Chains A and B, each alone.
Chain A
Amino acid sequence: MTVQKLPIAKAINESLRKAMETDPKVLIMGEDVGKLGGVFRVTDGLQKDFGEGRVIDTPLAESGIVGTAIGLALRGYRPVVEIQFDGFVFPAYDQIVTQLAKMHARALGKIKLPVVIRIPYGGGIGAVEHHSESPEALFAHVPGLKVVSPSNASDAYWMMQQAIQSDDPVIYFEPKRRYWDKSDVDTDAIPGPLHKARTVVAGSDLTLVAYGPMVKVCVEAAAAAAEEGKSIEVLDLRSMSPIDFDAVQASVEKTGRLVVVHEAPVFYGAGAEIAARISERSFYHLEAPVLRVGGYHAPYPPARLEEEYLPGLDRVLDAVDRSLAY
């Protein structure tokens, strides 16, 4: 039986296990990834089975984690690094942006940097400051990096396999509030390309584009809209760099309307990029301006206010109504 119903966290764990079994050069590094199995237990049991030499508990120093991972990659290893939470990636941002992203180009392609950086991201878990942010646009903006985020267990499993096998650095954003959502994972399947978007719900009146934690909200919005007789298509982007614009364009040229949904602040976010590109590509197909639903230009608020800040079902449906009203 190769199909299992797994929560996302467990699917990533199984994927890491498979990668380590397949390739002895795959290493896991990060704070608390060993005995504890990570604060979300994503690496649970791996150190027990693969040893401290391959599942490496690190000092509490994010720049050090990424910087040494770069060195290990230069030596021929394939490190998979865990940053404990989104807001703690910034001490490592310099190493990621000035070194990891650029070293392949600097060497005129003579060296490769197969490093995966796992970042549990996004809100909705009632956490304290720096534990709920969505910095994906900051990474997608950087040439040399690839940025992906799964929304379900099957993608979580297969996208991790593909990220580890990639010779490019991949920032792998894990939707932490979906860690416990279960879905079928076929570990024998042949996965589609890592950067291909996926149609989750087919529809004809409007396209909702989302990724990671917001896909579930958009699917719920499509179902609610369907009860009112509206046919909403939901596209799971899966990759924020590169973006599968062809898929977005095809959907928009079918429906004529586009709403992009993400948790990150709208200003300079993925939605801005998608709106601009689609305006360029599909101007004459659009029945309404591209709308965006996302976070505000404000620090992520204290937990008691996060439901106001995060795009929920009502805010998505409101945008759907505004688009359809044109």
Chain B
Amino acid sequence: MTVESTAARKPRRSSKRTGSSAGKAVADPQLVQLLTPEGQRVEHPDYDVDLTPEELRGLYRDMVLTRRFDAEATALQRQGELGLWASLLGQEAAQIGSGRALRDDDYVFPTYREHGVAWCRGVDPTNLLGMFRGVNHGGWDPNSNNFHLYTIVIGSQTLHATGYAMGVAKDGADSAVIAYFGDGASSQGDVAESFTFSAVYNAPVVFFCQNNQWAISEPTERQTRVPLYQRAQGYGFPGVRVDGNDVLACLAVTRSALERARRGEGPTLVEAFTYRMGAHTTSDDPTKYRADEEREAWEAKDPILRLKTYLENEGHADEAFFASLEEESETLGKRVREAVRAMPDPDRMAIFENIYADGHALVDEERAQFAAYQASFADGEGK
């Protein structure tokens, strides 16, 4: 795993024709790739994975089901069942690849789009929907799956991950911590501070940046003048750019970074070079700021299609597998739809719950006032 400085980069464009499209980044030798967009298995000098056909089918299944879940959530938002949804469409390989590299005792600090990582952690996907439906602000127990709550303030969680990793090191444990964030978050001071802290304390944390090219309407060029993975060099730890649409490469690179953290060698920055196929959230309108050609170029690099091609070409999966997965997808979609519609509104007294662990006199007073006010309507009901 090496970090190349900007100055050391040599023009390679003459030997690898990149064309004019923005969608040819796979030709970049700095991009770790094990599976081409055409579904061809390729080698990389530093990274490899050796997976059984069953494991390969497992990754495919994870990506398909995650995409199906995401599509269902998007539809539920359109139907008014969710107030908002942040789609991961296009980022399945980055999330499943990195998520499947984790051990159970590793700890994950996500942003608010890591539905695929949550899937890998065994978090019931319906748990992710409560905050988007407006019944809570998170709600799951982070310690039951070692998957922290979604964090909406951009980049904040990278510091929590770093502190948690400092604690892991203090405990003498050999687990690792992974922090997810995006290219937009890389501009935040908290991300810079987390790089500083993790480097000086040699914390066992992997920073997994999903560079999906757009921070709402701002392109990556508005966040940085150098490739993001190269930022790590200035902090004194390795950075690596991986094809974020290649689930095998994401798995290999993340696994290697986690192992490095476990060995006590400190943080790594992984930049998963990927693309957000949909909108930032359902409130966004990407047609106002980006060209259709760009999306089309990235569609050709779809993470699911390329693994499917590979599975088919290698004879690792048959028609029955794909048919059964299709059925499983529909069952998942139905379950998610029903679960969301059945989700009860919280009890109104929940406003006053869990603000403090040890209680607070003002909260007690206002809770009592609110209860009395609500009770004052009881007599008039039904008349």
Measuring CB to CB, which residues of chain A are less than 8 angstroms from any residue of chain B?
53, 58-59, 61, 63-64, 66-77, 91, 94-95, 98-99, 102-113, 143-144, 146, 166-168, 195, 241-245
Contact = CB atoms under 8 A, between A and B. Distances in A.
A53 B362 CA distance: 38
B163 interface: yes
Interface stretch (B118-126, B186-194, B317-325): B186-194
A67 B353 CA distance: 24
Given A71-B162, A168-B357, A242-B361, A106 B153 contact: no
B137 A99 contact: no
29 contacts: A59-B200, A61-B193, A63-B159, A63-B193, A64-B162, A64-B197, A67-B159, A68-B160, A68-B163, A68-B197, A71-B163, A71-B165, A72-B167, A74-B148, A74-B163, A75-B167, A76-B167, A77-B170, A103-B149, A106-B136, A107-B139, A108-B139, A110-B142, A113-B357, A143-B363, A144-B356, A166-B357, A242-B360, A244-B361
A68 B162 contact: yes
B193 A67 contact: yes
Given A71-B162, A107-B149, A108-B139, A63 B357 contact: no
A167 B358 contact: yes
Contacts of A166: 357-358
Contacts of A98: 153, 156
Interface of B: 136-143, 148-149, 151, 153, 156, 158-168, 170-171, 189-190, 193-194, 196-197, 200, 353-358, 360-363
Given A59-B200, A99-B153, A110-B142, A64 B159 contact: yes
A75 B197 contact: no
Contacts of B141: 107, 110-111
Nearest to A75: B167
B153 A112 contact: no
B143 A110 contact: yes
A63 B189 contact: yes
Find the residue from A68, A72, A102, A166 having the highest chain B CB count within 10 A. A68
Contacts, number: 148
A94 B193 contact: no
A242 B156 CA distance: 27
Nearest to B200: A59
Contacts of A72: 163-164, 166-167
B117 to A, nearest CB: 17
Contact of A109 (B164, B190, B354, B361): B354
A53 B358 CA distance: 29
Contacts of A111: 141-143
A305 B203 CA distance: 46
Contacts of B197: 58-59, 61, 64, 68
Contacts of B164: 71-72, 74-75
B360 A71 contact: no
Given A71-B166, A107-B141, A95 B358 contact: no
B295 to A, nearest CB: 33
A102 B354 CA distance: 9
B362 A241 contact: yes
Contacts of A143: 355, 363
Contacts of A105: 137, 353-355
Given A98-B156, A106-B149, A143-B355, 19 more contacts: A59-B197, A63-B189, A64-B159, A71-B166, A72-B163, A72-B166, A77-B167, A94-B156, A95-B190, A99-B153, A104-B354, A104-B355, A105-B355, A106-B138, A107-B141, A109-B357, A242-B362, A243-B361, A243-B362
B162 A67 contact: yes
A146 B194 contact: no
A92 B203 CA distance: 21
Contacts of A91: 189
A68 B143 contact: no
A75 B190 contact: no
Find the residue from A64, A94, A143, A241 having the highest chain B CB count within 10 A. A64
9 nearest A-B residue pairs (beta carbon)? A71-B163, A67-B159, A75-B167, A68-B163, A64-B193, A167-B357, A71-B164, A109-B354, A110-B141
A66 B193 CA distance: 11
Nearest to A246: B361
A143 B38 CA distance: 53
Contacts of B354: 104-105, 107-109
Given A59-B196, A77-B170, A167-B358, A94 B139 contact: no
Contacts of A68: 159-160, 162-163, 166, 194, 197
A166 B196 CA distance: 30
Nearest to A27: B170
Contacts of A63: 159, 189-190, 193
Given A67-B194, A77-B170, A94-B156, A104 B356 contact: yes
Nearest to B169: A53
A70 B356 contact: no
A74 B363 CA distance: 24
Contacts of B167: 71-72, 74-77
Contacts of B136: 106, 108
